[in-house]
């Protein structure tokens, strides 16, 4: 029993006329008769009662018609889903990132993507950068977002967008009187930093602190950037942070842009060079399009 036979049967059951059914199926009458006869032999029952004047469904034909329509509907649904998978319109994506990058605009991009491609399921995994890279290499992740380019030869990356860096201060700090601050203004301050060996991004922040010379006054070192605002509010010092963390932080805090030549943080989309996930191709194209349209970016 083949799908073509079921389709021929259903059309004939609707028309109850071989000539009209053959016209709808874009075939001649003899091949249609052969299809129906072959189907009846396979099932071991007669589906149509034939006479010189008309044909009608037998009792077996009436029962089989209901089942045939269900089978054809399920077949169409499966074929549609397969086509969506081939085109990347259907599937699952495991995405690794950090909380600070979600705040930097990734959450907005993911929401736009899910609205546009509702049949692609997105699973978010908030992890440290090193764990993200390991997950990507092992195949547990499809794509990750990180603040530094990977050093692994099997991984490719795009510079997705850039995020401004700002200074986060207690709201009673003397520097709050200024509209903007320079890196030189920060060299004698106590700093709360990411642990320098935790990521390339943490090393970047340390390089900004030491740019003006002298030994930086580091008050506290943390692994998670989202821990920093509470330490700033408690009076442990100031911190150079991505704007997304600073601007979305509540409490007795203030942030100021850094000028001139304010530093920015690069945000990379990282994926396996040899990936074969059509949904990932759709995702990468969508992220590039959203960014080009100004959905996120430094400023």
Query: Taking residues 37-43, what's their average pLDDT?
Result: 92
Give me the pLDDT at residue 150, please. Answer: 86
Give me the pLDDT at residue 193, please. Answer: 93
Which residue bears the tokens 């290499």?
A: 137
What is the rounded distance in angstroms from the CA atom of residue 244 to the CA atom of residue 100?
7
The arrangement of secondary structure in 3-86, i.e. its CATH architecture, is Orthogonal Bundle (1.10)
88: pLDDT strictly greater than 80: no
Give me the pLDDT at residue 39, please. Answer: 92
Q: What are phi and psi of 219, to 5 degrees?
A: -85, -50
214: pLDDT strictly greater than 70: no
Mean pLDDT of the chain: 89
Beta-strand relationship, 143-146 and 264-272: antiparallel
299: pLDDT strictly greater than 60: no
What is the rounded distance in angstroms from the CA atom of residue 55 to the CA atom of residue 104?
69
54: pLDDT strictly greater than 80: yes
Question: Is residue 100 within 8 Å of residue 164, measured between CB atoms?
Answer: no
Q: What are phi and psi of 164, to 5 degrees?
A: -65, 145
Question: Is the fold of 92-160+266-292 the same as that of 163-264?
Answer: yes
Q: What are phi and psi of 5, to 5 degrees?
A: -65, -40
pTM over 0.85: no
Three-state DSSP class for residue 272:
strand
- Residue 78's pLDDT band (boundaries 50, 70, 90)? confident
Q: Spell 161-181 as b/e; 16+ CB within 10 A means b.
A: bbbbbbbbbbeebebeeeeeb
CATH code linked to domain 163-264:
3.40.190.10
DSSP bridge pairs for 258: 181
Give me the pLDDT at residue 43, please. Answer: 92
Per-residue pLDDT tens digits for 107-165: 999 999 999 999 899 999 998 888 999 999 999 999 999 998 888 889 999 999 999 99
Tell me the DSSP string of 31-68. HHHHHHHHHHHHHTS--EEE-SS-EEE-HHHHHHHHHH
- Residue 172's pLDDT band (boundaries 50, 70, 90)? very high
Q: What whole-number percentage of the chain has pLDDT above 90?
A: 62
Boundaries of every domain in the chain: 3-86, 92-160+266-292, 163-264
The arrangement of secondary structure in 92-160+266-292, i.e. its CATH architecture, is 3-Layer(aba) Sandwich (3.40)
């Amino acid at each position: 029993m083949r799908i073509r036979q079921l389709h021929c049967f259903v059309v004939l059951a609707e028309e109850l006329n071989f000539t009209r059914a053959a016209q709808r199926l874009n075939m001649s009458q003899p091949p249609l008769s052969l299809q129906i006869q072959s189907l009846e032999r396979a099932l071991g029952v007669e589906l149509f009662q034939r006479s010189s004047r008309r044909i009608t469904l037998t009792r077996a034909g009436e029962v089989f018609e209901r089942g045939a329509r269900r089978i054809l509907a399920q077949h169409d649904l499966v074929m549609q889903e397969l086509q969506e998978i081939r085109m990347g319109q259907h599937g699952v994506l495991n995405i690794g990132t950090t909380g600070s990058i979600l705040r930097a605009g990734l959450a907005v991009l993911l929401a736009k993507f899910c609205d546009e491609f509702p049949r692609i399921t997105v699973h978010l995994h908030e992890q440290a950068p090193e764990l993200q890279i390991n997950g990507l290499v092992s195949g547990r992740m499809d794509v990750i977002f990180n603040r530094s380019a990977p050093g692994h030869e099997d991984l490719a990356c795009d510079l997705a967008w850039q995020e401004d860096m700002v200074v986060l201060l207690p709201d009673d700090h003397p520097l709050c009187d200024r509209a903007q601050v320079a890196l030189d203004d920060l060299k004698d301050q106590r700093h709360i930093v990411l642990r320098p060996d935790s990521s390339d991004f943490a090393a970047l922040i340390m390089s900004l602190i030491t740019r003006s010379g002298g030994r930086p006054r580091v008050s506290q070192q943390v692994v998670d950037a989202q821990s920093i605002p509470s330490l700033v509010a408690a009076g442990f010092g100031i911190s150079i942070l991505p704007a997304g963390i600073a601007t979305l932080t509540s409490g007795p805090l203030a942030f100021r842009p850094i000028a001139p030549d304010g530093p920015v943080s690069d945000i990379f989309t990282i994926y396996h060079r040899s990936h074969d996930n059509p949904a990932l191709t759709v995702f990468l194209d969508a992220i590039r399009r959203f960014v080009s349209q100004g959905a996120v970016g430094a400023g």
